[in-house]
Chain A
Amino acid sequence: MSDPHGSAGGEGQAGRNLPPLRLHVPEPPARPGEAADFTHFDIPAAGAQPRPDETAQPGEMRDMAYGLVRVLDEEGRAAGPWDPRLPAETLLRMLRYMALTRAFDARMFRAQRQGKTSFYMKSTGEEAVSIGAALALSRDDMCFPSYRQQGILITRDWSIVDMMNQIYSNKGDRMKGRQLPIMYSAREAGFFSISGNLTTQYPQAVGWAMASAAKGDTRIAATWCGEGSTAEGDFHSACTFASVYRAPVIMNVVNNQWAISSFSGFAGAEATTFAARAVGYGIAGLRVDGNDVLAVYAATRWAADRARANAGPTLIEHFTYRVEGHSTSDDPSAYRSAEESSQWPLGDPIARLKQHCIAIGIWDEERHAAMDKELAEMVRDAAREAEKNGILGHGLHHPMESMFEDVFEEMPWHLKEQQQQMLDEWKAAGL
């Protein structure tokens, strides 16, 4: 067979004796049946990281993008300059919101398995990322979340019955059954409408922040994506626009090591950190122990203060681990070591804060067990309440003709015609 372009090692290469090129395809350290291996992670001691001034130039704090801000040590003591020194009441609120998020996830996962809805996604192991950030932001700061920040809504005391109504697509669903479960929208809680398209919300958050700055407002924006979706083009455009216009925005990368079945190496983690992406854009970059809610809180507070001081955007990488499957449609035992979540070196965010609260004498095992029981009952009661409005496929939903509403502000003739056609066909069928 002739090769019009010349074959490899053809005439032009003759005599050069070059080694063959090799394509590198990343492979995770452990696959199913293999021992989990996290020895390649460098985990610095809690309290070891310096805390730059909030108005530091990004270039001065380059090392922060390669370190790991940690506050809670192995004994549950808070250490170092990033300790936010929160009052006991706030620490216990944090603990409660994290536990409530986990209880909510457990209940909704079960609801999906029971066939009450089509789909659910847990945030197990990542509760600190949402709850720490939500408590460090003002309620009127606008969050542009991805699909695994349900903890923000819970921390903003949003009705969990309302969240469940959305998951069940029932007649109480404010999204009117149009959206896949968990694609919440809660404008009043500063929680932007979730999209299925990954990272699209990232540059939108930057635009919101630009608008706030252009109007001389004091509110800031925050956004979240997973490490996998940092590979999307929108991540790049968001970083560029945030940098160019010094937008008052916090860009969070939740590095939970897995994008469905792809380990973080497929988003570039073998070569560098995700916080280090900030360095090239001239953005402040922080890399944080994502299972340490005090570190997440402190870093978010730092970034919020920076944004409010007109010192520009911050990119925060939250180093964490996705304990459960990607979604109810996913079985992680098909692609990763079953031991991984138990071997994860940064532990469990709830267990770590609980240990801290016990260590400083404001909490104990009995109260924790009582809280877990109370929250489970609360979530169960909420689920019963939501189920009165219907579950998916049981007919208690918004009228089907409402599907034509809100495509445009006013319904154009072609939608009115189709709406009528559907109703006529429905009536003709005697339904």
Chain B
Amino acid sequence: MPAMNMIQALNHALDVMLARDPDVLIFGEDTGYFGGVFRVTDGLQAKHGLKRCFDAPISEGGIIATAIGMGAYGLRPVAEIQFADYILPAFDQLVSEAARLRYRSAGEFWAPITVRSPYGGGIFGGQTHSQSPEAIFAHITGLKTVIPSNPYDAKGLLIAAIEDDDPVVFLEPKRLYNGPFDGRHDQALKTWAGDPRAEVPEEHYTVPLGKAAIEREGADATVLAYGTMVHVAAAGIAESGVDAELIDLRSIVPLDIETIVASVRKTGRCVILHEASRFGGFGGELAALVQERCFYHLKSPIERVAGWDTPYPHAFEWDYFPGPARLAKALARCMER
């Protein structure tokens, strides 16, 4: 099985789907001839033609709106928003239209669109190249939100998202594009080479939406994470010495509540880790769900480790980014109580 980084795995997913389904088409800013600013669509136009993979005007609202119209026609468009920070001009189309089309038309029309967008920090991206907007989408009924953390899942989840008939916001942690990142920014960059999660089959396969993965089994605490934070969590758990179970949620909506509840009922402790700022973040929903369903099993208060409630700063990257040390401290607090 070939080893792929996340960019290659995503590119492969798109290539597989373009070849497999004549109704799949890809467009976004710089996605055509140039192959995307992160190379995710590299070579696809040359291989599949101008009509299957093309460039779009710099208009996020227009990109999502035309994708919805294409979906209503019967195509299965995959639209790219260059950075998740720039998805907001398309917010009305995503919330008022894509998410509600099936509901408001009682199933006459629907929007089988996939919106791919690089997200997350840890790259000195400053305020508008680092944000994690998943909580905003999680609040929108009718949207699915999916976040992979490794090349194997990236390909399988992206294919599943494209094949899904509901609109899917597919957030790609750009910090993980070229290699895993555990938050230890002072250490040498890693690549995906040699990582078993980078062994990606060439053929079509899916990773189901709504199904979490247990990344590490443990007995004393449960850590809920997704995207880059899965790797940060693994490092933080190692640093803490706590035998924590690490769950990679993979899908924010639909959420794999069964896996989460089974784990917390077993461990009795829960720490939630995300890059997005804390107040109103998705961690709040996770904490509420765990509290409702695991109340009599909890041995300590649920902890949330998250970005601070500030815009994402440039110079203070590593003071903002919730690294492994902050998780280790939270785990230690849980164990002391």
The smallest C-beta distance from A245 to any residue of chain B, in angstroms, reads: 8
Quick one: closest B residue to A217, CB to CB?
Answer: B73
Contact flag A208-B254 (CB < 8 Å), given A183-B104, A408-B166: no
Say yes or no: is A175 at the interface (Cβ < 8 Å to chain B): yes
Q: Contacting chain A: which of B59-67, B215-223, B320-328?
A: B59-67
Choose one: A183, A193, A206, A412; the contact of B210 (CB below 8 Å).
Answer: A412
Choose one: B59, B62, B72, B106; the contact of A406 (CB below 8 Å).
Answer: B106
Quick one: closest B residue to A144, CB to CB?
Answer: B69
Docked-complex contact B109 and A408, CB < 8 angstroms: no
Docked-complex contact B142 and A207, CB < 8 angstroms: no
Q: Contacting chain B: which of A234-242, A287-295, A300-308?
A: A234-242
Contact flag A208-B72 (CB < 8 Å), given A175-B104, A412-B254: yes
Docked-complex contact A211 and B104, CB < 8 angstroms: no
Docked-complex contact A408 and B69, CB < 8 angstroms: no
Docked-complex contact B105 and A193, CB < 8 angstroms: yes
- Provide the residues of chain B in CB contact with A394, threshold 8 Å: none
Docked-complex contact B104 and A178, CB < 8 angstroms: yes
- Provide the residues of chain B in CB contact with A409, threshold 8 Å: 102, 110, 164-166
Choose one: B57, B67, B96, B104; the contact of A207 (CB below 8 Å).
Answer: B67
Interface size on B, as a range, is 35 or more
| A311-B57 Cα distance, complex, nearest whole Å | 20
Docked-complex contact A176 and B106, CB < 8 angstroms: yes
- Provide the residues of chain B in CB contact with A197, threshold 8 Å: 92, 96-97
- Provide the residues of chain B in CB contact with A407, threshold 8 Å: 102-103, 141-142
Docked-complex contact B109 and A234, CB < 8 angstroms: no
Docked-complex contact A205 and B59, CB < 8 angstroms: no
Quick one: closest A residue to B54, CB to CB?
Answer: A245
Say yes or no: is A337 at the interface (Cβ < 8 Å to chain B): no
Task: Mark contacts of B151-173 with chain A using CB atoms, 8 A cut-off: 1 yes-contact digit, 0 otherwise.
Answer: 00000000000001110000000
The smallest C-beta distance from B110 to any residue of chain A, in angstroms, reads: 7
Docked-complex contact A185 and B69, CB < 8 angstroms: no
Binding site for B on A (CB under 8 A): 142, 144, 174-176, 178-179, 183, 185-187, 192-193, 195-197, 200, 202-212, 214-215, 221, 233-234, 236-238, 240-241, 244, 406-409, 412-414
Using A204-B65, A234-B62, A412-B254 as known contacts, list a sample of 18 further A-B pairs with CB atoms less than 8 Å apart, ordered by residue number in A: A142-B72, A175-B105, A185-B106, A187-B105, A193-B109, A195-B104, A196-B96, A202-B65, A203-B61, A208-B72, A212-B73, A233-B89, A234-B93, A237-B57, A237-B62, A241-B62, A406-B107, A413-B254
